[in-house]
Amino acid sequence: MSSDSQASNELVAVFDTVKGEIRVSLFPTEAPMTVANFVNLAIRGYYNGLKFHRVIANFMVQGGDPTGTGMGGPGYNFGDEFSPIRRHDSAGVLSMANAGPGTNGSQFFITHGPTPHLDGKHSVFGQVSSGQDIVNAIAQNDVMTTVTIEGDASALLEAQKSQVDGWNGVLDSQ
């Protein structure tokens, strides 16, 4: 854990990919359930070894599907969290991929540039703090070697305990 993460209790997702490292500052205040889900999956090693299964030039890279088809997920869904201050207004926005309202699971995407047409449809829960050049270099089927979390997520996970326990029950039954 970096001293910066400790000092501010900031939560940072670190994506170690075949192309290099991507660091993303997470937004637990604006998207507590979404961040808790992502952190919980990362802590469990869910994302380790998964591919970026969908890459669209000048738009985004998408990952988080254990099947690599765009159809897979963790076996549960959860609701959307939209914030007026967290928008798809730049490169490096981390947001949930979904199949419509309330269908968030494990799939996420990171933008290459502003995508305002996604506001109010996909929950924004982080922003790339370093490694946008790596995001831009990701090609379809590139692998996330590991996704780790820096910072203390215990209070967030405790606040979302009933949800996290339910998610873990589903994950443990697979």
Nearest-angstrom CA–CA distance, 57 and 95: 17
Q: 15, 78, 109, 125: which one is catalytic? A: 109
The answer to whether 59 is a known catalytic residue is yes
The answer to whether 122 is a known catalytic residue is yes
Residue with tokens 């030039």: 57
Q: 53, 54, 86, 112: which one is catalytic? A: 54
The answer to whether 88 is a known catalytic residue is no
Q: 59, 82, 87, 168: which one is catalytic? A: 59
Residue 77 in tokens: 């869904």
Q: 37, 62, 104, 132: which one is catalytic? A: 62
Q: 53, 88, 112, 122: which one is catalytic? A: 122
What's 31-92 look like in SS3?
A: CHHHHHHHHHHHHCCCCCCCECCEEECCCEEEECCCCCCCCCCCCCCECCCCECCECCCCCC
Q: 26, 50, 118, 156: which one is catalytic? A: 118
| Number of other residues whose CB lies within 10 A of the CB of residue 78 | 21
The answer to whether 141 is a known catalytic residue is no
- Which amino acid, residue 3? S
Residue with tokens 């924004």: 124
Q: 98, 127, 132, 163: which one is catalytic? A: 98
Contact 56, 108 (CB under 8 A): no
The answer to whether 109 is a known catalytic residue is yes
The answer to whether 78 is a known catalytic residue is no
Residues with a known catalytic role: 54, 59, 62, 98, 109, 118, 122
